[in-house]
Chain A
Amino acid sequence: MNLLPLFQWFEATPIGTVVRESLWMFPVIECVHLLALAMLGGAVLVVDLRLLGLGLRAQPIAELARKVNPWMVGSLAAIVATGIPMFLSESVKCYYSPPFWYKMGLLALAATFAFTVRRRVLADCSRPVLGRMTAAVSLALWFGVGFSGRWIAFY
């Protein structure tokens, strides 16, 4: 299946056109995207570190996860909401960019993992080894998303 026509259509959407033709819109959206990345990173890290037995060790895992969850969901929503207009403004470039496809694949994996396995492990953390493995997988996946995201600019 050839997805190129679809990506050309994405690029021709009104939002894509407006963002692409504006001098300041892309940079401004990108800044919000970056700030939300920092927040998402913090929210994921503090809980994964706790699962690894580091950081806020005096806090029960389930309680810490519950407190941090709104920040994680909120920043993820902000990242997606800012990522879509940026994508629409240069969809065809993304289509030809290998890092973009890695990023999307890893993002799907990371988000699915976060809201299924990790969520369950955080709710019932009676098995420390499972907790550590979950944290390692979560950190690796999110790192992959961020890393490949940055490389869209280069390749």
Chain B
Amino acid sequence: MDPLPFLKWLDGTAGSVAIRESTLLYPFIETTHVLTLCLFLGMIALLDFRLLGVGLRGVPVSEVARQLLPWALAGFSLMAASGVLLFYSGPVRAAGNIFFQIKMAMIALTGINALVFHFTIYRRVAVWDCDPTPPLRARLAGFWSILLWSGVVICGRMQAYNWFDKPTR
């Protein structure tokens, strides 16, 4: 199924045009998207560094996860909401951008990584909760998380540069 007709229709809706052509709304949405990075990725990074055994070593892993993940989730919600609006402001251009496509794929992978972590090694967290350096499976989860999320940020930033934009049909 070709998504282009739908994206073109979305591109022409009043809301999309209004955000795209606004002088203040677009910058505000974009600023929200960038600054919630601190809340989201900052918290995720602290948990990942704890899982890698390089940060907050004296704090139980379950405490870091329980206390910081709700904040990360709040940050993620704001990022997702503002991200949807940014996409909505230029769907044809965004969807055809290679960095956007890689970014979405990487976000999906972070989700899989988080699910695998929570349903496998994290189930037995009581056993290794206070270990300064967690077991290999947990370290790997932290490693993939920080690597993939960094990739997401880099692709998101690169998306603004239209180096590989395809001319729209």
Contact of A34 among B34, B43, B49, B57 (CB under 8 A): B34
With the chains together, A106 CA to B166 CA distance in Å?
40
With the chains together, A71 CA to B35 CA distance in Å?
18
A-B contact count (CB 8 A): 96
B31 touches A147 (CB 8 A): yes
Q: Which of A35-77 contact B (CB under 8 A)?
A: 35, 37-46, 49, 55-59, 63-64, 67-68, 71
Contact of B31 among A38, A64, A150 (CB under 8 A): A150
Q: Does B63 contact A (CB under 8 A)?
A: yes
Residues of B within 8 A of A154 (CB): 27
Residues of B within 8 A of A96 (CB): none
Residues of B within 8 A of A23 (CB): 163
Residues of B within 8 A of A125 (CB): none
Q: In the complex, what's the smallest C-beta–C-beta distance from A80 to chain B, in angstroms?
A: 17
Q: Does B104 contact A (CB under 8 A)?
A: no
A151 touches B31 (CB 8 A): yes
**Beta-carbon nearest neighbor of B68 in chain A:** A55
Residues of B within 8 A of A37 (CB): 37-38
B43 touches A42 (CB 8 A): yes
Residues of B within 8 A of A49 (CB): 71
B58 touches A67 (CB 8 A): yes
Point out residues on A near B: beta carbons under 8 Å: 23, 27, 30-31, 34-35, 37-46, 49, 55-59, 63-64, 67-68, 71, 143, 146-147, 150-151, 154
Interface pairs (26), CB distance under 8 Å: A23-B163, A27-B158, A34-B34, A34-B153, A35-B154, A37-B38, A38-B38, A39-B45, A41-B37, A42-B42, A44-B38, A45-B39, A46-B46, A46-B68, A56-B64, A58-B63, A59-B59, A67-B56, A67-B59, A68-B55, A68-B56, A71-B49, A146-B34, A146-B38, A150-B31, A150-B35
